[in-house]
Chains A and B, each alone.
Chain A
Amino acid sequence: MMRAPGWVGLAVLSIAARSVGAQDSLRFVGPDAATSREVSQIIEAVAVQGLPAGLILSKARFAIAVHTPGPKIVETAKAMAARLVVAQRAIAPHDLESDLAGAEAALSYNVPPDILQRISAASPKQPIAVPLGVLTQLVADGVPPKRAGELLTKLLRLGATPTQIADLGNTVNADVKLAGYKGLDALNARYNNLIPRLAPLSPSATTDAGLTNTAGAPGKKP
Chain B
Amino acid sequence: MRRARLFQIAVCQLGSLALPVLLSAQIETSVDIGASRLRQANVPTGNSFSGGATLDWLGDRGQMRATILASRQTESRWTGQGALLGSLTGDSPSSWWQLDIAASNYAQTSALPTTSAEGAARVRLGSGLRGAAFGAGGGASITGGHTGGVGRALSDGWWAVGRERFAASLSWTRTTPPKAFAAGSVSYEDFAGSWRHETGALSVGLSGGFRFQSSAGPDSDDWELADATAWFAPHAAFVVSGGRTLTDFVRGTPRTTWVGASIRLSPNAHPSVAWRGRPDAAMPRLVVTRIGADRVALDITAVNATSVEMMADFTDWQPVSLERAGGSWRVERAIASGLHRVSLRINDGAWAAPANLPRADAGEASVGLLTVP
Contacts and interface: CB of A to CB of B under 8 A. Distances in A.
Contacts of A176: 358
Given A137-B371, A218-B245, A200 B63 contact: yes
Contacts of A134: 371
Interface string A145-164: 00000000010011101110
Interface stretch (A9-17, A30-38, A41-49, A166-174): A166-174
Contacts of A209: 190, 192, 209, 223, 245-246, 248
B87 A205 contact: no
Interface string B134-175: 000000000000000000101011101001010101010100
Interface in A120-152: 127, 129-130, 132-134, 136-137, 140-141
Nearest to B258: A216
A98 interface: yes
B216 interface: no
A127 B131 CA distance: 24
A66 B110 CA distance: 80
A217 B366 contact: no
A96 B259 CA distance: 56
Interface residues of B, number: 128
A193 B202 CA distance: 10
A203 B194 contact: yes
Contacts of A158: 60, 93, 128
Given A154-B60, A211-B104, A221-B196, A206 B81 contact: no
B98 A200 contact: yes
Residue from the set A99, A190, A193 with the largest chain B CB neighbour count within 10 Å:
A193
22 contacts: A62-B341, A101-B339, A129-B339, A130-B372, A132-B338, A140-B369, A157-B93, A159-B129, A162-B373, A167-B373, A170-B287, A170-B288, A170-B356, A174-B285, A191-B26, A192-B26, A204-B154, A212-B253, A214-B50, A214-B52, A216-B241, A218-B207
3 tightest A-B CB contacts, nearest first: A129-B338, A217-B241, A133-B339
Interface of B: 26, 28, 32-36, 38, 50-52, 54, 56, 58, 60-63, 65, 67, 69, 71, 81, 83, 85, 87, 89, 92-95, 98, 100, 102, 104, 122, 124, 127-129, 131-133, 152, 154, 156-158, 160, 163, 165, 167, 169, 171, 173, 190, 192, 194, 196, 198-200, 203, 205, 207, 209, 223, 225, 227, 234, 239-243, 245-248, 251, 253, 256, 258-262, 264, 268-271, 275-279, 285, 287-288, 290, 311, 313, 316-317, 336-341, 351, 355-361, 363-364, 366-367, 369-373
